[in-house]
Amino acid sequence: MNEDQRRAEVRALARLAGDELGGAVAGIATVHRAVADRVFTVVRWGVGPAAVPVQVAHDAIADGVYAIVGTVAETAGRVAERTADLPNREPPSRTVFGAALLGVLSGLIGDRLAEQNPVLAGPMSFRVDGQPVAPEELGSPHDTLVVFVHGLVETEHSWRRGGTPCYAERLAEELPCATAEVRFNSGLHISENARELADLLERTQRAWPVPLRRIALVGHSMGGLVARSACHLAAAEGAEWAKLVRQIVCLGSPHLGAPLEQFVHVVSAGLVKLPETRPFGRLLRRRSAGIRDLRQGSLVDEDWTDLDIDALTRRVQQEVPLLPGVEHYFVTASIMRNPKNPIGRIVGDGLVLTPSGSGRGRARRIAFEPENGLHLPGANHFTLLNDEAVHEALRRWLAVAPPLPRA
């Protein structure tokens, strides 16, 4: 089974590399042609029709060279798709390096992978030492389950930043609870991953060896949004597991949107206007659905279904409230130690601004309780994946379950 999985993943990666290289060559050819057309237009103004034969010859030679290079790259990918292998090795998805590579690919183009290379974009699953684990294999005598949900371009290995024990491992030793980490295709829409998480937790509740009394979700960056969206979806459908959720912790989650995606959204719209920059604009517009959802923290299908995803005026269609009776916590960070430093207000933790991570913006507001927050000065977005102060906060927040809301 491992051999078949390894061979399938390696060959899919080889084919993807060939296709992407061929696409890159085509993009370079388009830029070359656009620039050359501009140059020859100017030359014709100076020398007249005599420049036409030179342009025709130039275009024929350039187009031929690019066509050959692109075809060779794509052909090599097709050949490798049938022959490539890494014998006597684990499938890439089950190694730390291979998982990291697939995590990045999933984050960038995961929606395309799900359609064209599904072997590289498997369904959401629990992972232990890189191996997919069915819910029934996570059996534990504890009636409390803490689930960790990673962020964009990450995997469950990301929680082990710095090589030290992760939150899940430490909390399982310190608290009377079971912990589990999921891996998912972060290039899908947040609401699509939320639906997969909801299905996974429903199966987990049914398969758990003792009656579950409490579920807590901890998400980093996009993972916090996926957790909120899954709970919203499950609560609306009356799912039993959603009634057991007592805490949701969001670590550096862009509830009000991520500035980098907002910037790329505008830049890509400008780049597609000119022939010389159009390939770069199209390249940026190939970014995944998951990345696009981070522009404003979109949590539901209504934010993207039947809408122009490239429209500059696109806005969040539905605000998702916090679940009643659930304690919601948030952690933010800032690269600058001084909270009054204007640079810190502009860059935040490098990817998420403090107002977005705490849900307190000028035009939008998420009803987090201020006392349920933690801010780390002098830290970046990825510090939150494995930090002593965050661990202490998690241990404190998850040690005691909040009371159930009154019926």
The CATH class for the domain spanning 91-400 reads alpha beta
Q: Where are the beta strands (DSSP E) in 298-348?
A: 327-334
pLDDT at residue 264, as a whole number: 85
Amino acid, single-letter form, for residue 106: S
- Residues sharing a CB contact under 8 Å with residue 323, sequence separation 6 or more, in sequence order: 231, 232, 235, 242, 245, 248
Residue 388 to residue 222: CA distance in whole angstroms: 21
345-372 average pLDDT score: 90
**297 — alpha (psi -120 to 50), left (phi > 0) or beta?**
left
What does the block give as tokens for 300? 């539901």
Q: Higher model confidence: residue 74 or residue 370?
A: 370
- pLDDT at position 15 is 65
pTM beyond cutoff 0.75: yes
Q: What residues contact residue 215 under an 8 Å CB cut-off, 6+ apart? A: 144, 145, 146, 147, 201, 205, 241, 244, 245, 246
**C-beta of residue 232 within 8 angstroms of C-beta of residue 190:** no
Output the pLDDT for position 78.
Answer: 55
Q: List the structure tokens of 21.
A: 């290289």
Q: Where are the domains of the chain?
A: 2-89, 91-400
The model's pLDDT over 173-203, given as tens digits with 9 standing for 90+, comes to 999 999 999 999 999 999 999 999 999 999 9
| 103-132 per-position pLDDT tens digit | 988 998 889 889 888 888 889 999 999 899
Q: Is the pLDDT of residue 59 over 70?
A: no
Span 148-168, pLDDT tens digits: 999 999 999 999 988 889 999
pLDDT at 81: 45
Q: Which residue has the tokens 């007592």?
A: 246
- For residue 59, give both structure tokens: 């275009």
Residues 231, 143: Cα–Cα separation, whole Å:
19
Q: Does residue 77 carry a pLDDT above 70?
A: no
DSSP 8-state class, residue 95: S
Tokens of 49: 């029709």
